[in-house]
């Protein structure tokens, strides 16, 4: 059987890099991976991690998903070289923490440009080729924050809620083409991005210029964030391989979360999330 052609974004670090490693080391050599980075200056860790597979199972390409020109060049080159794209793995993303009224227009534009618009535009570029072949998988990393709102990461949550809306709607229309959409919804994962998240919470909690209630809520949140259950990257990759990559007909959603988050995500009223995960700090400071 011919190897599956996998196009992956966000490969310079974290989950994206780990996914490329796992696919490249597949014992049955089932995959050819086109691993993209925002700039070739960002490829060093990826190149070192898969050095034995470069230009064999792994081909590194530069692609900034906020630039339509980059998307067109990469997708067309993959089709020209390999004839198809079997799996699209949308992993690239940004996080943003802050006091909601202090977030600048530039920051709003940036996070939506990457997390939402760029991800949608790449998917749009790949879809015609999958429809022509009437097969494919589109696996997109959302977040448990695409199901539940969290204080002080409102813009990140909003971007992931938008991702959920687009891909859930897309899934309903493309199954007739034998294309499966899978939304991966992890809780906190032990990556550089999570370390940055903890630092940002800590920094904002020490900001004397913000409202006292915001500051106290953040100060109550920081210890919880530091001890919050965090998944190992390999655990997430294992579950994506099992439930999305290897499954013939993957389910729309793959929630990777602890019990509290899973329960909050399943509560249709939204109150469970507010009580357990969101505004609990208010009662603690009154």
pLDDT at 186 over 50: yes
Return the percentage of the chain with pLDDT > 70, whole number: 95
- Is the pLDDT at 283 greater than 90? The verdict is no
pLDDT at 278: 56
Judged against a pLDDT cut of 80, whether residue 221 lies above it is answered with yes
pLDDT at 228 over 80: no
Picking from 22, 23, 19, the residue whose alpha carbon sits closest to that of residue 4 is 23
Q: Residues 179, 129: contact at Cβ < 8 Å?
A: no
Mean pLDDT of 21-31: 97
- As a dihedral over the C-alpha atoms of residue 272, residue 95, residue 90, residue 11, rounded to 10 degrees, the angle is -140
Q: What pLDDT digit, counting tens, does each position of 39-94 carry?
A: 999 999 999 999 999 999 999 999 999 999 999 999 999 999 999 999 999 999 99
Kindly report the average pLDDT of the chain as a whole number.
Answer: 93
**Helix, strand and coil percent figures for the chain, each rounded to 5:** 55, 15, 30
* Global pTM value: 0.92
Question: Looking at residue 276, what is its pLDDT?
Answer: 63
- From the list 121, 169, 136, 146, the residue with the least C-alpha distance to 245 is 136
Q: Which of 161, 169, 228, 170 is nearest to 195 (CA)?
A: 228
Q: d(Cα 249, Cα 5) in Å, to the nearest integer?
A: 18
pLDDT of residue 279 exceeding 60: no
Is the confidence at residue 281, as pLDDT, over 60?
no
Tokens of 105: 């227009």
The pLDDT value recorded for residue 195 is 86
18 touches 144 (CB < 8 A):
no
Residue 112 pLDDT: 98
More confident of the two residues 229 and 15: 15
116 with 162: CB under 8 angstroms?
Answer: yes
Tell me which CATH code domain 4-192+230-261 carries: 3.40.50.720
d(C-alpha 234, C-alpha 180), whole Å: 23
90-99, 177-186, 190-199: which range is least confident on average? 190-199
CA distances from 200 to 155, 157, 174, 226, 244 (A): 14, 16, 39, 12, 32
Per the listing, tokens 């993959």 go with 78
| Catalytically active residues, by annotation | 156
Q: Which residue has the higher pLDDT, 197 or 119?
A: 119
Q: Which of 70-74, 271-275, 281-285 has the highest mean pLDDT?
A: 70-74
Q: What is the pLDDT of residue 277?
A: 62
Q: Lowest-pLDDT range, 24-28, 45-49, 250-254, 264-268?
A: 264-268
Q: CA 257, CA 253: separation in Å to the nearest integer?
A: 12
């Amino acid at each position: 059987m011919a190897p599956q052609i996998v196009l992956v974004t966000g490969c310079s670090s974290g989950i994206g890099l780990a996914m490329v490693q796992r696919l490249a080391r597949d014992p049955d050599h089932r995959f050819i991976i086109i691993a993209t980075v925002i700039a070739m200056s960002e490829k060093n860790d990826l190149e070192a991690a898969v050095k034995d597979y470069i230009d064999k199972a792994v081909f590194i390409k530069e692609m900034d998903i906020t630039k339509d020109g980059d998307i067109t060049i990469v997708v067309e080159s993959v089709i020209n070289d390999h004839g198809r794209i079997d799996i699209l793995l949308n992993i690239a993303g940004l996080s943003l923490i802050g006091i909601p009224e202090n977030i600048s227009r530039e920051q709003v534009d940036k996070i939506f440009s990457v997390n939402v618009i760029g991800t949608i535009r790449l998917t749009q570029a790949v879809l015609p080729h999958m429809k022509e072949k009437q097969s494919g998988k589109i696996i997109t990393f959302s977040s448990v924050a695409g199901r539940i709102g969290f204080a002080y990461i409102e813009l990140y949550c909003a971007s992931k809620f938008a991702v959920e809306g687009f891909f859930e709607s897309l899934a309903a229309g493309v199954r007739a083409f034998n294309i499966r959409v899978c939304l991966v919804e992890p809780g906190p994962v032990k990556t550089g991005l999570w370390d940055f998240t903890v630092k940002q919470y800590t920094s904002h909690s020490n900001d004397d210029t913000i409202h006292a209630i915001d500051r106290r809520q953040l100060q109550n949140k920081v210890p919880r964030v530091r001890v919050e259950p965090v998944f190992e990257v390999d655990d997430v990759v294992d579950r994506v391989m099992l439930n999305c990559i290897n499954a013939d007909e993957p389910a729309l959603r793959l929630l990777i979360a602890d019990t509290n988050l899973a329960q909050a995500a399943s509560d249709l009223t939204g109150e469970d999330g507010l009580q357990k995960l969101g505004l609990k700090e208010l009662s603690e400071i009154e």
